Structure 1
Amino acid sequence: MSAFRYKALNLEGRLIKGVLEADSERHLRAQLRAQQLRPVEVLGVEMKVAKGPRSRFVFLKSGLSGSELALVTRQLATLVASALPLDECLQAAAEQTRKPSIKSILLEVRSRVSEGYTLASGMAQYPQAFGEMYRAMVHAGEQAGQLAPVLEQLAAYTENRQLTAQKLKLALIYPFVLMGVAVSVVAALMVFVVPELVSIFTHTKKELPPLTVGLIATSDFLRNWGAYLLVGFVLSGIGLRRLLQEPRRQLAWHQFLLRVPGIGRVLTGIDTARFSSTLSILMASGVPLLDALHIAGSVMSNRELQQAATKVADNVQEGSSLNKALSQRAFFPPMMVHMVASGEVSGELEVMLERSAINQERELEMTLGTVMGLFEPLMVILMGGVVLLIVLAILLPIFDLNTMVR
């Protein structure tokens, strides 16, 4: 069976859209008529895949968002734990979602499972929706006969990761909004207010103070070239983004970011925490250590850190212990290395990795909180300094005129 999109009219003449599973278009039309719907349009769901087995249909390009993946995983975990057949679990999960793209994916995966494929194999058609780590855990759970517990772990992992991402976004929203407001206010002053105030000085023959001359020149420049400057910034950002798509330039850029004071520490903390958490959940699910290291390295966003993780995996493959391999890379925190060493000795490596990830996330939250706490007064001071310069540039000529009158 395959997934189809349809448009149909109900008894009241209203257009209804949806996705259903059927053997063929004729079968789907029969299902719609049985529901007292008149088919208007029926299309096979198509999906383009970048990797994995070739699907008969091509549909998804962007994959699932973090929140959507967390919700689908939690639903599947609950349904599988209730001892329902896997294809019925996928059917029920598809019926519970209202988004056609998610429903199409789940129905197509159900079709593969009904044909005898494993759940991991069915998900491999959609690498943008189900990442490599996700599929590896599902595969390990199926091999061990522990799919329900593994899906529970995946649900908790995806929910925690989504929560962490939301915290980071909320922490960054305020400073960006504050910076945007500050820049907008200064730009408005320079373009609309300052020219009206300083125009009375431009007609005098008296030499103006250098600060006032600079203010007038800046105001004229922004009025004449401000729009072009804004367009230039936008085009530069787009061009830089395209340039960074090339692997060598992207690697050089990521190396530069890691060397920037403050930013490098935050980026390293985010990626190493993600590495620890992913490695922990993969090992707890029964994925071999080498495979888990390669997958955990691939989820890191910084290419320099990805290469460091790859070298760690190579050292472990050559016979080195994990803590020794990590200690040879300067990016991994010493506390993480010590906890890994303790886990290897006690035989609870996945537990110690999870604790390491939690500690790093807490430290990262404290660091971001400190940075954001300092950012607000610094922006207020900077904004006040700029406004003070504008006020002085306007008042200095007035003081000079008062002196001449006396």
Structure 2
Amino acid sequence: MPYYAYKGRNPRGELVQGSIEANTADVVASQLMNTGVTPIDIVETEGEQSGQGNVLGRAFAKRPGLDDLILFSRQMYILMKSGVPITRAMSGLIQSTRNPYMVEALREVLADIESGHDLGNALGRHPAIFSTLFVSMIRVGENTGRLDEAFQRISQYLELEKDTRQRVKAALRYPLFVLAAIAIAIAIINIFVIPAFADLFGRADVELPWQTRLIMATSSFFVNYWPLLLLGVIGGIVGFRVYITTERGRYWWDKTKLELPLVGDIIKRAILGRFARAFAMALKSGVPLVQGLTVVARSVDNDYIAEHILGMRNGIERGESMTRTAAMTGQFTPLVLQMMAVGEETGEVDRLLAEVADYYEREVDYDIRNLSSTIEPVMIIAIGVMVLVLALGVFLPMWDMSKAI
């Protein structure tokens, strides 16, 4: 779309100017009027310079994350609740948003709305920014006339999602730093320390124990083949990242994450809590049961769990109850299944699913706060074994040398 440079007067009579990307000058005038600016002059500019600046801005900008979506949802909730028209609200957000990717997407959304599309369809054209759950909630809000409530629930859901992710990252930060320090220490010992002792032991007529021969062989391998080791590590990381972008690799990794020791069960319950929270929000907003399961399956960010959720959908389509289909997946605890059954009997599935989400989130929060204390003994044992092997490998030959002397 071309860019238009404009000059106008705000409600206080002050001169304002800038540039807007739009299809026609009439669209620019309409946007300015919606924001309270009276246009004086609108001239189409050469989009090359603006386009280059836009490209450079996007090159150094991050794609919209949870923070951007939370801020957007909060602002839209306030604007919709205040009765501001969608086009005027979107124009104002375009002027105040700082993320170039988000600005570009909102401009296209505004152009679609002005062309006659509804907000849900306009947002749905940007799946990289707005998830299926996000778009579905907006569509339901538009159909029911409760668009402000839809944005409010989305912002609350995204805030909980952000909080959970931050707690998981905070809990894993310390163990990852320790593992990185151990890896660096092992590399330094094998490349610089062990060769010095190996030269000393080589000049001594002492029979070396198996611990010493083991660490000397390991050190020799590190010293002679470290470029290949480094290349292999880099190639393995790149190959792994490429593999998990494929459909088969992503499914394998999503399933493997749930089976990891210590953290796998926490990840699984966090995903199930996310599913219960999103499903409860969808049902409370009026999304049909089968459609809600389809939408939520795409939003849990785990193909393995999504497959089981779609299995629940297929069972419900065959006429089975939600509790029975959930039990057949083998992913839910008996307490959660009992709460689902009560929800179906009382007709309050959305409220009971919210209770399920609270239950999982409390468990995840407790486990995350105790994760470091759970991992520390394992890491201490691993470090102790490594130090023991190094100590035996270095000091036993020195003890034999002292006896020989």
Tell me the TM-score normalised to structure 1 length.
0.84
Which ranges in structure 2 are unaligned for 5 or more consecutive residues? 6-17, 33-38
Letter matched to residue 93 of structure 1: L
From 24, 35, 41, the counterpart of 2:49:
41
Residue 341 of structure 1, CA deviation: 1.5
Tell me what 1:241 maps to.
Answer: 241
Instruction: Answer yes or no: is 1:89 the counterpart of 2:97.
Output: no
Q: Deviations over 1:298-348 (max 9, x none)?
A: 222332221111111111122222112212220122222111112222222
Tell me what 2:14 maps to.
Answer: none
Find the aligned partners of 1:129 and 1:358 in 2 and give their Cα distance: 27
Secondary structure in structure 1 of the residue aligned to 2:51 = strand
Residues 137 and 282, structure 2, Cα contact 8 Å, conserved in 1? yes
Tell me what 2:175 maps to.
Answer: 175
Find the aligned partners of 2:322 and 2:130 in 1 and give their Cα distance: 28
Find the aligned partners of 1:240 and 1:90 in 2 and give their Cα distance: 41
Secondary structure in structure 2 of the residue aligned to 1:42 = helix
Find the aligned partners of 2:4 and 2:207 in 1 and give their Cα distance: 75
Find the aligned partners of 1:125 and 1:390 in 2 and give their Cα distance: 59
Find the aligned partners of 2:199 and 2:177 in 1 and give their Cα distance: 32
Residues 62 and 99, structure 2, Cα contact 8 Å, conserved in 1? no
Residue 160 of structure 1, CA deviation: 1.4
Secondary structure in structure 2 of the residue aligned to 1:206 = coil
Tell me what 1:401 maps to.
Answer: 401
Tell me what 1:12 maps to.
Answer: none
Residue 136 of structure 1, CA deviation: 0.6
Find the aligned partners of 2:95 and 2:63 in 1 and give their Cα distance: 19
Letter matched to residue 42 of structure 1: S
Residues 206 and 397, structure 2, Cα contact 8 Å, conserved in 1? no
Structure 1 residues 166 and 227: CA distance shift in structure 2, 3 A:
same
Tell me what 1:56 maps to.
Answer: none
Secondary structure in structure 1 of the residue aligned to 2:370 = helix
Instruction: Answer yes or no: is 1:305 the counterpart of 2:313.
Output: no
Identity of aligned residues (%): 25
Find the aligned partners of 2:227 and 2:166 in 1 and give their Cα distance: 34
Tell me what 2:164 maps to.
Answer: 164
Find the aligned partners of 2:75 and 2:305 in 1 and give their Cα distance: 34
Residue 359 of structure 1, CA deviation: 1.0
Q: Deviations over 1:347-368 (max 9, x none)?
A: 2211111111111011122223
Structure 1 residues 33 and 104: CA distance shift in structure 2, 3 A:
farther
Which ranges in structure 1 are unaligned for 5 or more consecutive residues? 7-17, 48-58
Point out the more displaced range, 81-90 or 372-381.
372-381
Structure 1 residues 338 and 44: CA distance shift in structure 2, 3 A:
farther
Structure 1 residues 34 and 224: CA distance shift in structure 2, 3 A:
farther
Structure 1 residues 181 and 289: CA distance shift in structure 2, 3 A:
same
Residues 74 and 155, structure 1, Cα contact 8 Å, conserved in 2? yes
Residue 24 of structure 1, CA deviation: 4.7
Tell me what 1:367 maps to.
Answer: 367
Find the aligned partners of 1:137 and 1:216 in 2 and give their Cα distance: 62
Residues 3 and 19, structure 1, Cα contact 8 Å, conserved in 2? no
Find the aligned partners of 2:302 and 2:185 in 1 and give their Cα distance: 35
Find the aligned partners of 2:184 and 2:4 in 1 and give their Cα distance: 46
Residues 153 and 281, structure 1, Cα contact 8 Å, conserved in 2? yes
Instruction: Answer yes or no: is 1:191 the counterpart of 2:206.
Output: no
